[in-house]
Amino acid sequence: MSQSRETTSAQPVLEVRNLQTVFPTRDGLIRAVDDVSFTVEQGKTLGIIGESGSGKSVTARSILRVVDRPGRVVGGSVKLFGRDLLTLSEREMREIRGRDIGMIFQDPGASLNPVRKVGTQIVETYMTHRKASKNEARERALESLAIAGIPNPTEVFDLYPVDLSSGAKQRVMIAMAIVCRPALLIADEPTTMLGVRTQRHILESLLKVQEELAMAMILITHDFGVVSWMADEIMVMYGGRVVEHAPKFEILRRPRHHYTAGLIRSVPLIEERREKRLKSIPGFPPDLLNLPTGCIFHPRCEAADGLCQSVRPELGVAPEDPRHRYACHHPVQEAVLDELKLTG
Amino acid sequence: MSGRPESLASVVDASAPASHVAIEASSDKTAGRKQSRDWGLIISGAMVAIVALITIAGPWIVPHDPNYIDSRSRLMPPVWMDGGSWDHPLGTDGVGRDLLARIVVAFRTSLLIAIAGVLLAVSIGVVIGIVSGFLGGIADTVLMAITDIQLSFPFVVLAVSLLSLTRPRPSVLIVVLSLAAWPMYARVVRSVAQQERGADYIIAARAIGVPQWRILGYYVGRNIVPPVFIVASIDIATLIVLESLLSFLGLGVQPPTASWGNIIAESKNYLSSSWWVPTLPGVAIVFTVLSFNLLGDSLHRYIDPRSAR
Amino acid sequence: MGAFIVRRLIYSLVIILGASIAAFSLIRIVPGDPARIMAPNASEEQLATIREELGFDRPIPVQFVDFVKSAIKGDFGHSAFLKEDVGTVIAEGLPYTLRLALTALALALIVGVTLGTIAALFQDRFLDRAILTIAVLGQSMPAFWFGLVLILIFSVRLGWFPSFGYKGPKYLILPAVTLAISLLATLIRSTRLVMVDVLAQEYVKAARARGLRRRTVVFRHAIPNILVPLLTVVGVQLGYLLGGAVVVEAIFNVPGIGLTILNAVLRRDYPVVQAVTILMAGGFVLINTIIDISYGALDPRIRREMTR
């Protein structure tokens, strides 16, 4: 979060502008991703947070253009080092996937092919994108497994997914995602399905991998605890839209959107006294086929008034910090967390 | 084979959920979406209705006695060919019997035999399935071994051997045909019964003193009726094919009673000269079988929408 | 793993033994005199000869033990009608039937899996609907009628293929197509069903997200995962294939064991019926046993379960 970042003239790794992804259904059009913009720079991590259905996963899949049917990216641009991925042919796009952008999924058990050896699957990925002999690919795969924190790569190489713990499977997925040394790694809820301890180890590995390979990373999660540890910037999504986006400490210190504030309050911090019950946000995620008018968060918002019900707030820049964007008519004024807790 | 790790259905079913939801948010919306008109069910229903109509009313409507032999008009072509006439719309067979009349009366023969065969198979299968699934243990092992033994014989070979032992009669034919179908019901019912055996409401029902047979009849019956209906519809189709096949081989319905299989058998030597006699009864078979197959598929989709994928 | 195979083999042996007893007892337990059924017009002395020759005068279990003893030595009895050993009769017919059945199986597998996969890849679009329609039609056609239609078109009208007997590979085409059609239709539908499911799996999406080529995704990731359910279908359908061989051999006059057993049944030539029935049942059980055991080789998850 140093000032120097502002002055760097280096091109961002990924620049997403006004991304629009829709799912036509029998009952109407679902705008799963609605006008989403952000950039990710080399060596930095953008955390995207939101409930299920907020559009965070679809955003990730839209970048790679692997949105499930019947979803379609219908607008905006996704520039990887200035090259708009949305204008590429399917063949050119296929070369980008796995080579320039790696992706890790939520369920490592389901994401590995159960009937093929894990080594084969990594080698296959490498050889799809690089001209290499089987032996070179194998060396590269073993190296990637080691970077991903597998202590015994040569043994794991010849195992089937069924032989591995879920943590080890996720490490294999990481190895597979980085085997071509991509510039960007997208981790879509990489630890949701894992146990608490494994979760911590995997996240540590991700940080280490990112540092070692100097990658940009997009980390998608519904867990504020995870982004506040891992990310440099945090983007909050709700109902397919960005509601707030700021550098991590800024957003933790001064969340402006009531939804963000609610999310932060619901994070169990270790220092928190036990008798103090966690506060969760009342109400339910919005029905994407039938979004509320005005601010889509207003039915769940304690500060909502007539304005919120009728006029949709623009995603505007905070006057005191140009890196802080939020979409709210009545921004939160008080600090949610004190400094002590933040540093703790 | 009881040693099989998973049946096809369970392999398919086990891996189905989650993967199918387009995006997280739309899941409840798309699942609750109203089914638009189910054309499969309408079309197959209409086809079965046509078959039923011909079966019931056909023999009274056709102008000729299906067994009337008119040696002066042998092998007459159908009406759309040279020399055909409306008197015999589909022409005549090798001894001058009206082909349309014979094909139409055969609907009744084939359907009655097939439906009786399915009913018998359902009865046998349900009893064996419930006994097997509820009792478990030795009874289950022995019954399933018997099922496996029967299934190890190719049905045609089994049927042909059995039918050769007695004089061919419709009742024997029905029993033999039921052998082709009962193991499926036994297995379906057995697996339902096994699941239900430990279910809370069964234990609760037993605890409040509901008699055993009522537990079986009501609670299990409710769960096996839908799958049994689906399988039965498709089995009617299967048994119609098997009956026509056995009749074709001369071991099923015996002439002069008309059945699609024996019409084809009697006329197969005219294939090169009068192709319509051996081929047209087949059209009736395909239509009938198709209608019941489609009905079974549509019922399956209707009852279990996940299979529609 | 070993324990699973041993258990599976023992069960198969029990089933084969049961099937043999059933096939053996059938003729002997029906009401009436089996000798009389075999030779309805024979004199009383001739009947006595038949009874003695076939051992009908002794208790059934004794007869069965004798039968098994000679069968192990390769002696399956003697066909009075054909004046030949049953073993010889089977040995003459078996190659024709195997050639026919294997050709049909290969045809059904290649075409069925290909069309089923294409249908799944084009799920709910026109090509899918068209392929499914063909499959449902194929499932609804009786093989004996379909065979006649093929003869009418390709043999009588076009004159491309012979329709009768067996004098070389050209004679195999129409019978093999006839025999394959039902299995083919079933394989199209089951391949599509399983494939649609596999294609929606996370590992297929993940493979695509790694930039793998479409054909790599289909051939390396999807197909290996449909083999187990597909083999199950093939195993079950094998009975229909063998039964179908009887019909197809009858229509096309192929001198295989299907035709042998059909003629034997019509002639009440029970030593032949008994031996061929047991042979077919044994073959069916054996192949399904091999299929069950092969699951372990195809899917490491099942292999782990077997070891457990």
- Tokens for C248? 């197809």
C22 CB within 8 Å of a chain B CB = yes
Cα–Cα distance measured from residue C272 to residue B156, given in angstroms and rounded to the nearest whole number = 16
Handedness of CA C108, C110, C116, C118 (dihedral sign): negative
Among the residue ranges A136-145, B84-93, C190-199, the one predicted with the least confidence is B84-93
A268 CB within 8 Å of a chain B CB = no
Backbone angles phi, psi at A252, to 5 degrees: -70, -35
CB contact under 8 A, C240 and B155: yes
- Tokens for B112? 């009655």
| Confidence at B307, pLDDT banded by 50, 70, 90 | low
Write down all domains in chain B, each with its CATH number in brackets.
45-308 (1.10.3720.10)
If phi > 0 it is left, if psi is from -120 to 50 it is alpha, else beta; for residue B142 that is alpha
Query: Does the pLDDT of residue A275 top 80, yes or no?
Result: no
Nearest chain C residue (CA) to A112: C203
Q: What is the mean pLDDT of chain B?
A: 77
Cα–Cα distance measured from residue C168 to residue C101, given in angstroms and rounded to the nearest whole number = 15
| Confidence at C266, pLDDT banded by 50, 70, 90 | confident
Nearest to B25 among A52, A70, A110 (CB): A52
CB contact under 8 A, A111 and C300: no
Residues A248 and A185 in one domain: no
Residue that is written with structure tokens 């930039």 in the block: C211
C17 CB within 8 Å of a chain B CB = no
Using an 8 Å CB-CB cutoff, list chain A residues near C300. Answer: 114-115, 160, 162-163
Rounded mean pLDDT, B271-279: 81
Using an 8 Å CB-CB cutoff, list chain A residues near C221. Answer: 113, 116
Cα–Cα distance measured from residue C272 to residue C260, given in angstroms and rounded to the nearest whole number = 8
Residue A153 sits in a domain whose CATH number is 3.40.50.300
Give the pLDDT confidence of A145-194 residue by residue, as tens digits. 999 999 999 999 999 999 999 999 999 999 999 999 999 999 999 988 88
Rounded mean pLDDT, C45-62: 77
Nearest to C229 among B8, B20, B285 (CB): B8
Nearest to B293 among C15, C136, C268 (CB): C136
- Best mutation target among A21, A48, A52, A241 (most B Cβ atoms within 10 Å) is A52
Give the pLDDT confidence of A7-34 residue by residue, as tens digits. 445 689 999 999 999 999 888 899 999 9
CA distance A240 to chain B (A): 10
Contact C66, B194 (CB under 8 A): no
CB contact under 8 A, C22 and B268: no
Among the residue ranges A162-176, B198-212, B266-280, the one predicted with the least confidence is B198-212
Q: Which of residues 27-56 of B touch A (CB under 8 A)?
A: 29-30, 33, 36
- Tokens for B175? 């029993």
Give the pLDDT confidence of C154-190 residue by residue, as tens digits. 877 787 877 776 677 778 889 999 999 989 999 999 9
Residue A64 structural domain: 2-231
| Confidence at B9, pLDDT banded by 50, 70, 90 | very low
Q: A175, A206, A231: which is the final residue of a domain? A: A231
- The ipTM assigned to this model is 0.85
| Confidence at A61, pLDDT banded by 50, 70, 90 | very high
| Confidence at A287, pLDDT banded by 50, 70, 90 | confident
Residues A301 and A170 in one domain: no
Residues A225 and A248 in one domain: no
Closest Cα to residue A297, out of A326, A318, A319, A320? A326
Give the pLDDT confidence of C124-164 residue by residue, as tens digits. 889 999 999 899 999 899 988 998 888 888 877 787 877 77
Cα–Cα distance measured from residue B260 to residue B270, given in angstroms and rounded to the nearest whole number = 16
CA distance C168 to chain B (A): 23
Rounded mean pLDDT, C262-282: 86
- Tokens for B158? 């089994």
Nearest chain C residue (CA) to B271: C152
CA distance A73 to chain B (A): 14
Query: Does the pLDDT of residue B6 top 90, yes or no?
Result: no
Q: A231, A261, A295: which is the final residue of a domain? A: A231
- Mark C231-263 as b/e (b = at least 16 C-beta within 10 Å): bbbbbbbbbbbbbbbbbbbbbbebbbbbbbbbb
The neighbours of chain C, by the rule of 3 or more Cβ pairs under 8 Å, are A, B
Query: 0.90 exceeded by the pTM?
Result: no
C208 CB within 8 Å of a chain A CB = yes
CB contact under 8 A, A289 and B29: yes
Nearest to B244 among C16, C142, C152 (CB): C142
Q: A190, A216, A231: which is the final residue of a domain? A: A231
Give the pLDDT confidence score for residue A153 in this predicted structure. 94
- Tokens for B209? 């003193």
Give the pLDDT confidence score for residue B39 in this predicted structure. 79
Give the pLDDT confidence score for residue B212 in this predicted structure. 67
Count of the separate structural domains present in chain A: 2
- Compute how many other C-beta atoms are within 10 angstroms of the C-beta atom of residue A274: 5
Query: Does the pLDDT of residue B28 top 90, yes or no?
Result: no
Residues A66 and A180 in one domain: yes
Residues A266 and A328 in one domain: yes
B24 CB within 8 Å of a chain A CB = yes
Rounded mean pLDDT, C1-29: 84
CA distance A299 to chain C (A): 35
A177 CB within 8 Å of a chain C CB = yes
Give the pLDDT confidence score for residue A21 in this predicted structure. 95
A96 CB within 8 Å of a chain C CB = yes
Give the pLDDT confidence of C212-258 residue by residue, as tens digits. 999 999 999 999 999 999 998 898 888 888 889 999 998 888 888 99
B25 CB within 8 Å of a chain A CB = yes
Contact B102, B258 (CB under 8 A): yes
Query: Does the pLDDT of residue A251 top 60, yes or no?
Result: yes
Greatest CA span in chain B, whole angstroms?
77
Query: Does the pLDDT of residue A55 top 50, yes or no?
Result: yes
Residue that is written with structure tokens 């679009």 in the block: C125
Rounded mean pLDDT, A112-122: 94
Give the pLDDT confidence of A204-232 residue by residue, as tens digits. 999 999 999 999 999 999 888 888 889 99
Residues A195 and A263 in one domain: no
Alpha helices in chain C, H assignment, sequence order: 2-29, 34-38, 44-54, 60-72, 86-121, 126-139, 143-150, 173-199, 202-209, 214-216, 223-252, 257-266, 270-298, 300-307
Rounded mean pLDDT, B187-203: 77
C44 CB within 8 Å of a chain B CB = no
- Tokens for A99? 């080579």
- Best mutation target among A289, A291, A296 (most B Cβ atoms within 10 Å) is A289
- Best mutation target among B165, B242, B245, B274 (most C Cβ atoms within 10 Å) is B165
CB contact under 8 A, B29 and A27: yes
Q: Is C23 helix (H, G, I), strand (E, B) or coil?
A: helix
CB contact under 8 A, C244 and B156: yes
- Tokens for B97? 């019997």
Residues A144 and A257 in one domain: no
Using an 8 Å CB-CB cutoff, list chain C residues near A96. Answer: 211
- Tokens for C130? 């068209």
Give the pLDDT confidence of B142-171 residue by residue, as tens digits. 888 888 888 888 888 888 888 887 777 888
Cα–Cα distance measured from residue B309 to residue C128, given in angstroms and rounded to the nearest whole number = 12
C156 CB within 8 Å of a chain B CB = yes
Nearest to C210 among A125, A160, A163 (CB): A125
Contact B293, C140 (CB under 8 A): yes
Residues A98 and A166 in one domain: yes
| Confidence at B274, pLDDT banded by 50, 70, 90 | confident
Out of A137-146, B41-50, B180-189, give the one with best mean pLDDT: A137-146
Residues A290 and A179 in one domain: no
Nearest chain B residue (CA) to C134: B290
Among the residue ranges A251-260, B179-188, C44-53, the one predicted with the least confidence is C44-53
Closest Cα to residue A235, out of A31, A54, A21? A54
3 state SS for chain B = CCCCCCCHHHHHHHCCCCCCCCCCCCHHHHHCCCCCCCHHHHHHHHHHHHHHHHHHHHHHHCCCCCCCCCHHHCCCCCCCCCCCCCCCCCCECCCCCEHHHHHHHHHHHHHHHHHHHHHHHHHHHHHHHHHHHHHCHHHHHHHHHHHHHHHHCCHHHHHHHHHHHCCCCHHHHHHHHHHHHHHHHHHHHHHHHHHHHCCHHHHHHHHCCCCHHHHHHHHHHHHHHHHHHHHHHHHHHHHHHHHHHHHHCCCCCCCCCCCHHHHHHHHHHHCCCCCHHHHHHHHHHHHHHHHHHHHHHHHHHHHCHHHHC
CB contact under 8 A, A32 and B36: no
Residues A227 and A243 in one domain: no
Using an 8 Å CB-CB cutoff, list chain A residues near B24. Answer: 52-53, 57
Residues A125 and A54 in one domain: yes
Residues A226 and A243 in one domain: no
Give the pLDDT confidence score for residue B37 in this predicted structure. 61
CB contact under 8 A, B264 and C144: yes
